[in-house]
Structure 1
């Protein structure tokens, strides 16, 4: 695992942080919003297409329906034991953390894509014991493209670009991947959370586990308008049971804030944010209770079974293009 993590560090593509002016505006927006609110707990609530091939190849479909639906796959340990999380006091609560991330997102420069352009997302995946048990690679880079009108997709599989046939109408999938659907999502956090809940898998006993994973996947797997990204982050703050790490965790060789929730009693789905800019970095699945998978793989508390690092997200002119 050391070699894979080293490779991640060596191949990490640094993202230029927001300007000082953008960060100042984000912090000012956060302080203004907090000043207008009481404590987070007392706030008034604001008014199938197939999964990508790489998602199925992770070998983690047996973990949970939520993990599969959201593309959440499970990785080597960090400096902090997963699950050791707490709500911060005033100045560092979960709500304030997501609000700062949302305010920062609102300052990001963005030009909506033309219908004939494509959104490109690159992820670095590091996998743990389940992948080893199945003889799979413990590290992988995935590159995928989605045409902005939602009628065509492409993936780089085994070094070859595979472009799907063009459809005549936008496929209905959850979480959505097409830009028209994403750009048309509700702009109020509570309304957006209600929409995701209504679309989540029916019959799930843990009502908010699937919505949480779906929102995480929407942030990770798409190129979003700033207003949509900000609303998704604020919607996460409305989900009960979400907690924040007491200290920064190690995420692919860099510090990160982990904000997550325990699901199914044994695993924690974390969203990782930059501790300085609060930019979304990726996600991970951590083991918070000893657990044996249906295949007999023994997972131990403290294991991080998957890290998904968002390396790039941008608008390009054609599938296969990365710049």
Structure 2
């Protein structure tokens, strides 16, 4: 049974490790970008900080005491075309966090990619590991989800208890946050600040915030198939969000080392984005308790507990729902 992760979606392209030549080109491009940006980073009162309206966006595991955001969708109106402002602010970021996300962005730009046909489907397989909250609710602590979405965004499918469930075809492209459907995703702004503004403008009126932008981007990276340029923009946008930190040493993620790029949410949990320490490929996400906390249901969580791990196992374009390759 999938329950709180039935909203997990629609897929990410699986990539091969980059060749030595691709890595060399990526390093050269990164050094060039870092040199350019460090020379243009504004200081003092002229430095800009993006502000979005404040709100607490919750879904997925929200009913479990907000232990983690697991790719839920909030329907909104008027998503409209993803048109960036005429004059977006220059992308400038520096420091270890920005450099790490830049490496991840350069890796994304080197990934092979062929846009899907409208009649094709994207397939994603995620492995989920859950902790104390799931145990308290009698839920499975380990679970694998397999889901599909038609490339035109009008139909989806999921494997439930070994049975393929295909949704009714929609006559309209869904309007949702995080955005979904390849037509919307492929049209997102490719300037990092413009992308953050795009997300903020489509949050419900009077709501928003850096924490929300981080969660939206985390979900979009994990649960969609994106053109390399859009994926790279999402990673660079994360570098502009205040409060994002980088782990000093690689952490264990599903039995392998990973760089954790995290942001504290609600004062007690940190939402981490996990990157391969060598290639900087996106691996998945996790929720770590950073302060002792008791949920409304009375579950006691201790600092250091890993409550949720979402590992991206596979993602690719297929010709029909139910197919995995």
Shorter-chain TM-score: what band? 0.7 to 0.9
> Which of residues 173, 176, 179 in structure 2 aligns to 1:176?
179
Match of 2:144 in 1: 141
Contact 2:274–2:282, Cα closer than 8 Å, also in 1: yes
1:100–1:284 CA distance, 2 compared to 1 (3 A): same
- Equivalent-residue separation in structure 2 for 1:291 and 1:269 (angstroms): 15
> Which of residues 97, 104, 129 in structure 1 aligns to 2:132?
129
Instruction: Extract unaligned runs of 5+ from structure 1.
Output: 1-13, 47-54, 72-89
- Equivalent-residue separation in structure 2 for 1:162 and 1:60 (angstroms): 24
Please report how far the alpha carbon of residue 64 of structure 1 lies from its aligned counterpart in structure 2 after TM superposition.
3.3
Match of 1:307 in 2: 309
Please report how far the alpha carbon of residue 115 of structure 1 lies from its aligned counterpart in structure 2 after TM superposition.
0.2
- Equivalent-residue separation in structure 1 for 2:40 and 2:308 (angstroms): 31
Match of 2:53 in 1: none
Contact 2:15–2:111, Cα closer than 8 Å, also in 1: no
1:114-125 residue pairs with structure 2 within 5 A? Answer: 114-125=117-128
Contact 1:285–1:307, Cα closer than 8 Å, also in 2: yes
- Equivalent-residue separation in structure 2 for 1:222 and 1:312 (angstroms): 12
Give 4+ residue runs of structure 1 displaced > 6 Å after superposition.
Answer: 43-46
Match of 1:190 in 2: 193
DSSP 3-state at the match of 1:37? helix
Instruction: Extract unaligned runs of 5+ from structure 2.
Output: 1-13, 50-58, 74-92
- Equivalent-residue separation in structure 2 for 1:68 and 1:306 (angstroms): 9
Please report how far the alpha carbon of residue 60 of structure 1 lies from its aligned counterpart in structure 2 after TM superposition.
4.8
- Equivalent-residue separation in structure 1 for 2:206 and 2:301 (angstroms): 27
Please report how far the alpha carbon of residue 105 of structure 1 lies from its aligned counterpart in structure 2 after TM superposition.
0.5
Match of 1:240 in 2: 242
Match of 1:294 in 2: 296
Match of 2:17 in 1: 17
> Which of residues 228, 233, 236 in structure 1 aligns to 2:230?
228
Match of 2:282 in 1: 280
1:39–1:260 CA distance, 2 compared to 1 (3 A): farther
Q: TM-score, normalised by structure 1?
A: 0.81
Q: TM-score, normalised by structure 2?
A: 0.81
Contact 1:70–1:213, Cα closer than 8 Å, also in 2: no
Please report how far the alpha carbon of residue 286 of structure 1 lies from its aligned counterpart in structure 2 after TM superposition.
0.5
Residues 273-308 of structure 1, C-alpha deviation per residue, up to 9 Å, x if partnerless? 000000000000100000011100000000010000
Please report how far the alpha carbon of residue 134 of structure 1 lies from its aligned counterpart in structure 2 after TM superposition.
0.7
Q: Does the alignment pair 1:33 with 2:33?
A: yes
1:69–1:221 CA distance, 2 compared to 1 (3 A): closer
